[in-house]
Structure 1
Amino acid sequence: MDPASFPRIHVERTLALIKPDAVHKSEEIEGIILRNGFSILQKRNVQMTPEQCSDFYAEHYGKLNFPSLTAYMSSGPIIALTLARDNAIAHWKSIIGPAKITKTQVECLRVKYGTSDLQNALHGSDESFQAAAREIQFMFPNTLIEAFPTKEETEEYLGRYVKETLLQGLTELCKHKPLNPCVWLADWLIKNNPNGPKICDGAFVQEAK
């Protein structure tokens, strides 16, 4: 099979915050998160100062609710989570629902756990890689987040470094038809890595350059 025909699943990361009014429901909320196909990569209990809240919500500076927002978010502990799955940013936003809670909304987590527009239980990063990366690194400073390669970059990389060797391995796999094809192919790829030493009778032989 041509690697270019494999389905492309881009695993994204996004930040979720369980706000002070919903921390007591955190175990229930985390269960919902997992049932929706997310992995929880990082978790941290945080008590933010008003100054830290001001930095985190800097894009809201100057809005009428900014003082109330920072006061509320620093009023008690919160739980910060790094979530991962395909299309994580948009999917998490769709699950929690809009910031403003109305009685006519369809069921969403903010309607279920929130009590007002301010105390709406949950936070999700805005729908961009840059926003999610900034917020994750704010809550988890040692996290390294790299942008996803473009489709063209991915295809170029696979064509240059993977496709030829992988096709050779798959061809040999079909010839041998081993009982455990995944293990056999992994072993073949290790032994036939064009960028590494060759394995001959259990010994490494470095290729001449």
Structure 2
Amino acid sequence: MWREPWPSSNRMPFTKKRKLQLSPEQCSDFYADQYGKFFFPSLTAFMSSGPIIALTLARNNAIAHWKSIIGPVNSTKARETHPECLRAKYGTSDLKNALHGSESFHAAEREIKFMFPNSVIEPFPSREGIEEYLSRYVNPTLLHGLTELCKHKPHNPCVWLADWLMKNSPNKPKICDGVTVEEAE
């Protein structure tokens, strides 16, 4: 979560962005794992004092990458040890450290569902799964399309191939004389 305006110089590939203001009760629920700690009342009061911007980041090792960008939790320590990190630049105290980062994948799932209740979190496919999908579905279609492209030799090959792919998408059922024909796998 970002408590201040997002700096334009730090663009990130976020998949979701939402500006909202949490109530003290919502902050208590979000930071339930901190309940009972001496700073809990101040944390919930501060986090509910104004709007926040909730973001999701999608990339390989997203949690570790985000943590390296935001820096240590303690803004004072961050200024000493990681002066270029976001908390060093924008944090004003331990409590007001400017950003939140999930501690683990499990925490990120919970926090994303909290901030974006209608989200569906799907697992990232494995390298083997991606390779199988490409070899089974994408490569044969592209090979067929590129072969047809070579046969036709159109004036604008990119537009021709795009049109061919739209007409020959393996994800669309074929319609013949008003009857949908499902192809067997």
TM-score between the two structures when normalised by the length of structure 1: 0.69
Cα distance in 1 for residues equivalent to 2:142 and 2:129: 18
SS of the counterpart of 1:41? Answer: strand
Question: Which residues of 2 match residues 120-139 of structure 1 at below 5 A?
Answer: 120-128=97-105, 130-139=106-115
Question: Which residues of 2 match residues 132-151 of structure 1 at below 5 A?
Answer: 132-151=108-127
Cα distance in 2 for residues equivalent to 1:57 and 1:188: 52
1:66-122, Cα deviation, whole Å (9 max, x unpaired): 333223222x11322324453443333222111112142222111111111111111
Structure 2 contact 91–98 (Cα < 8 Å) conserved: yes
Cα distance in 2 for residues equivalent to 1:58 and 1:157: 41
Gaps of 5+ in 2: none
Which of 1 and 2 has higher RCO (CA within 8 Å, sep 6+)?
A: 1
Match of 2:70 among 96, 105, 113: 96
Amino acid at match of 1:105: T
Structure 1 contact 18–78 (Cα < 8 Å) conserved: no
Cα distance in 2 for residues equivalent to 1:134 and 1:108: 25
Partner of 2:2: 18
Q: Residues 51 and 178 of structure 1: is their aligned pair in 2 closer, same or farther, counting only changes over 3 Å?
A: same
Indicate whether 1:111 and 2:88 are aligned: yes
Partner of 1:61: 35
Cα distance in 2 for residues equivalent to 1:153 and 1:167: 20
Match of 1:168 among 144, 147, 167: 144
Gaps of 5+ in 1: 1-16
Partner of 2:55: 82
Amino acid at match of 1:80: I
1:174: how far off? Answer: 3.9
RMSD over aligned Cα atoms = 2.9
* Count of residues in correspondence between the two structures: 178
Cα distance in 1 for residues equivalent to 2:56 and 2:165: 32
Amino acid at match of 1:59: D
- Higher strand proportion, which one? 1
Cα distance in 1 for residues equivalent to 2:166 and 2:92: 56
